[in-house]
Amino acid sequence: MNPPQIQEYPTWYKQYIDLVNGDVLEILEKQITEIPTFINSIATKADYAYAPGKWTVKELLGHIIDTERVMAYRLLCFARNDKSKLPGFDENEYASSAHFADRSIQSLAEEFAVVRKANMFLLNSLNEEELNRTGIANNNPISVKALVFIIAGHAMHHINIVKERYL
């Protein structure tokens, strides 16, 4: 699958899409094991935040999971030709309302893998026509293909942040 064109998504997603080098479906598949393995390897840092007001590793992983669910819902709606305008979401409100601190890092890592595995069935079923469909989310047009790349790149972005700032 070729990367989406710049007109297929709001510019703030470019940072995620640009991280995806190679076959996006292979990258998404590899993340099923690579991200939980990495997260479990730093379990001692689960409740660590690198600065006041920043998310802990648990909250950051919860954010990745929540964002994947939101993007996958958008992707499903648009792939199925739903013309409804979808709302945005406040990732900070989601994180503060989710009580990720009460959970084990292992349960969050497992949840990530299960959510991603479920999403892979949908992603692997999409044909070219469905990938090229668009919809409106958060008052901006976006393509199904762009959402696929955003899911992969968003996870990569945050894992890079963990490696740079939390370890």
- Give me the sign of the Cα torsion angle 160, 94, 72, 61: positive
6 by DSSP, 3-state: which? helix
pTM above 0.85, yes or no: yes
Spatial separation of the C-alpha atoms in residues 19 and 41, rounded to whole Å: 23
Q: What is the pLDDT of residues 14-33, one digit of tens each?
A: 999 999 999 999 999 999 99
Q: What is the pLDDT of residues 134-154, one digit of tens each?
A: 999 999 999 999 999 999 999
Fold of the 8-166 domain: Four Helix Bundle (Hemerythrin (Met), subunit A) (1.20.120)
Smallest CA-to-CA distance from 130 within 140, 144, 120, 119 is with: 144
Type of residue at 107: S
134 by DSSP, 3-state: which? strand
